[in-house]
Amino acid sequence: MLNVCEVLGTEYPIIQGAMARIADAQLAAAVSEGGGLGIIASGGETAEWLRGQIAKARSLTQKPFGVNLMLLAPNIDELVDVVCEEKVHVVTTGAGNPGKYMARLKEAGVKVIPVVASVALAVRMEREGADAVVAEGTEAGGHIGEITTMALTPQVVDAVSIPVLCAGGVADGRGVAAAFMLGAKGVQVGTRFLSAYECGVAQAYKDAILAAKDTSTTATGRSTGHPVRCLRNKLTRKVLKLEATGGSEDEINELCTGTLAAAVRDGDVQNGSVMSGQVAGLVKKEQPAAEIIRELFSEGAKIYEDRADICLKSNK
Ligand code: TUI
């Protein structure tokens, strides 16, 4: 079995989470330059935009980077065409089953790493030729599953032979060490990169993440079967109220239309959708993406060594 760094073509076993409308060529190239796998998020974007961002990332770094395909995107077939034509190094997928596209991606030489929220999908993805999977717990930001990272990761690790990366709740060295303790061979980190200098999200969005605490997020959309984790604000209160009073899926979708762009681009952190993981409370400062990666792994390795006392009976 190849190790995660060989699959990703990176120095560190880390993938940057695909944050829709946020993760562009600038952030992806900075993460790749820092030794991780940067990801351009194509969800909500056009095929032309994606092609342009791939070209821009190639002008900013010689290192490999990836593209995330959000499988609920209405233009998903066109986006798949672009990543195949451009022979992107790695594709991560989210919010669905990429089985339908697997053969085409593999034929084009693209490595496929589906993000899964269940053992069943992980097993299926391995059978269909995935190179690795990301097991993402419900602590993550954006579109989420139901199972926690702590419960999901070891169950996925036991069920597949391909490398497993762990996502949802990883924002510092302790999270990295914990991921490895659960059997993961790498991590996917999203929320922590929102505070990267190279992340072009509106400053008010960054400030909301930096000000967040443990209880700051909530999940809307459970009533429609598409739960999404965001920072609590005026919008989430409205959506949750509508859901509690039997609002239809159409009404909920209408209330949410355009809200991600409002938060990301305009910095409207009250009426916009401020997607974030539960670890926002661990994100304390803005810093370069490369420094975030170095910190995650230097702290993670130190904890891994220090906690050798875990097996001592005295456990002082
Ligand atoms: O995909 C994500 N996170 C995302 S996508 C996104 S874009 C968006 N924008 C506005 C509204 C909604 C979404 C924001 N965040 N994470 C990976 C992930 N995939 N989490 C959970 C899943 C998942 C869930 C169900 C994967 C597969 C699945 O079922 C497929 C099946 O057939 O079993």
The pLDDT confidence band at residue 144, using thresholds 50, 70 and 90, is: very high
Please work out whether the CB of residue 143 comes within 6 Å of at least one atom of ligand 1: yes
Considering only CA atoms, which residue is closest to atom 14 of ligand 1?
Answer: 142
Query: pLDDT of 292-308, one tens digit each?
Result: 999 999 999 999 888 76
Q: Give the pLDDT confidence score for residue 307 in this predicted structure.
A: 74
pLDDT at 305: 82
For ligand 1, atom 1, the nearest C-alpha belongs to 94
The tally of CA atoms less than 13 A away on the side-chain side of residue 43 is 24
What pTM does this model have?
0.96
Ligand 1: which atom is nearest the Cα of residue 115? 17
Q: Give pLDDT tens digits for 11-59.
A: 999 999 999 999 999 999 999 999 999 999 999 999 999 999 999 999 9
| Cα 38 to ligand 1 centre (Å) | 19
Distance 304 CA to ligand 1 centre (A): 31
Distance 250 CA to ligand 1 centre (A): 19
The per-residue b/e assignment along 28-67, b for 16 or more CB within 10 angstroms, e otherwise, is bbbbbbbbbbbbbbbbbbebeebbebbeebeebbebbbbb
Q: Give the residue, by CA position, lying nearest to ligand 1 atom 12.
A: 143
Q: What is the per-residue pLDDT across 209-238, written as a single tens digit (0 to 9) for each?
A: 999 999 999 999 999 999 999 999 999 999
* Res. 1: pLDDT tops 90: no
Q: Is the CB of 114 under 6 A from ligand 1?
A: no
pLDDT digits (tens, 9 = 90+) for 155-187: 999 999 999 999 999 999 999 999 999 999 999
**Confidence class for position 312, pLDDT limits 50, 70, 90:** low
- Ligand 1 centroid to residue 94 C-alpha, Å: 5
Mean of per-residue pLDDT scores for the chain: 96
Report the DSSP beta bridge partners of residue 230.
218, 275
**268 band by pLDDT with thresholds 50, 70 and 90:** very high
- Is the pLDDT confidence value at 316 over 60? no
Please determine, for residue 313, whether its predicted confidence score (pLDDT) is greater than 80.
Answer: no
pLDDT at 2: 77
| 117-134 pLDDT tens trace | 999 999 999 999 999 999
Measured in angstroms, how far is the CA atom of residue 142 from the centroid of ligand 1? Answer: 8
Query: pLDDT at position 304, please?
Result: 82
For 162, the token pair is 């391909």
Domains of the chain by start residue, with CATH: 9-201+282-314 (3.20.20.70), 203-279 (no CATH)
pLDDT in tens, 190-208: 999 999 999 999 999 999 9
Can you give the pLDDT at residue 280? 98
Instruction: Say if ligand 1 is within 6 A of residue 228 CB.
Output: yes
Is the pLDDT reported for residue 309 higher than 90?
Answer: no
In short, whether 163's Cβ falls inside 6 Å of ligand 1 is no
- Write out the chain in H/E/C secondary structure: CCCHHHHHCCCCCEEECCCCCCCCHHHHHHHHHCCCEEEEECCCCCHHHHHHHHHHHHHHCCCCEEEEEECCCCCHHHHHHHHHHCCCCEEEEECCCCHHHHHHHHHCCCEEEEEECCHHHHHHHHHCCCCCEEEECCCCCEECCCCCHHHHHHHHHHHCCCCEEEECCCCCHHHHHHHHHCCCCEEEECHHHHHECCCCCCHHHHHHHHHCCCCCEEEECHHHCCCEEEECCHHHHHHHHHHHCCCCHHHHHHHHCCHHHHHHCCCCCCCCCCECCHHHHHCCCCECHHHHHHHHHHHHHHHHHHHHHHHCCCCC
Distance from residue 226's CA to the centre of ligand 1 (Å)? 8
What is the average pLDDT across 277-301?
97
Give pLDDT, residue 306: 80
Ligand 1 pocket, 97 CB below 6 A? yes
- Report whether pLDDT(310) > 80: no
Ligand 1 centroid distance, CA of 117 (Å): 8
- Cβ–ligand 1 distance for 144 under 6 Å, the answer yes
- Ligand 1 centre to CA of 310 (Å) is 36
